[in-house]
Amino acid sequence: MLDSPDRETRKYAQEAALLVREAPFPAVNKLAGDRGASIQTISDRLDSTPDAAEVAKAYHPPTRGGARAAVAAVPRRELKLDRPYFNARIEPILHAKGKDGYACADCHATHTLFNATWSTMGNVIDVAHPEDSLVLRKPISSAETEGAVGAAKLAHGGGQRWTKDSPEYQTILKWIEGGKQ
């Protein structure tokens, strides 16, 4: 289906691929089986298609007042971000337990758009406008407007994880700013 001459068929194949996600929990992988090389090959192939950014952008959740997020998803092949920096500095933030005993990676492990891994970071960052990145905006938001129709504020079901002046926020912001083109 990925090679179909029909654009709509290719789009459906890409959308279906959003169901394939990494689970950072060994117990889950033991039950479900690891992603394996074939799934990684498909993921890489999907990321390299001309329609990849369009498909991912269509799946950004509504935010402020029901409008779609200003963040445009960027396929991994186009990211100009420092992966070693991500591995050394950002990933530990996403795996650090908060006051509630949970880490971003714990709650987002089964999410399609963002599961706290390198492979989904392009869905939640905006290198052109780093502070508009969902990976920064959501954790500084509260849960008070979660599920409220027409809410003017961005909600985060996990509640506020940190503030704009926190080391976590500043570290992630610095990393995204380093990816400006």
**Domain limits of the chain?**
7-177
Going residue by residue through the chain (181 aa), what tens digit of pLDDT does each one get?
A: 777 888 888 777 776 665 555 444 455 555 555 556 666 676 666 666 665 555 554 444 444 344 334 334 444 445 678 889 999 999 999 999 988 889 999 888 888 889 999 989 988 998 889 999 999 999 998 887 776 776 667 778 888 899 999 999 999 999 999 876 5
Nearby residues of 39 by Cβ (< 8 Å), 6 or more positions away:
20
| Cα distances (Å, whole numbers) of residue 56 to 17, 68, 121 | 11, 12, 12
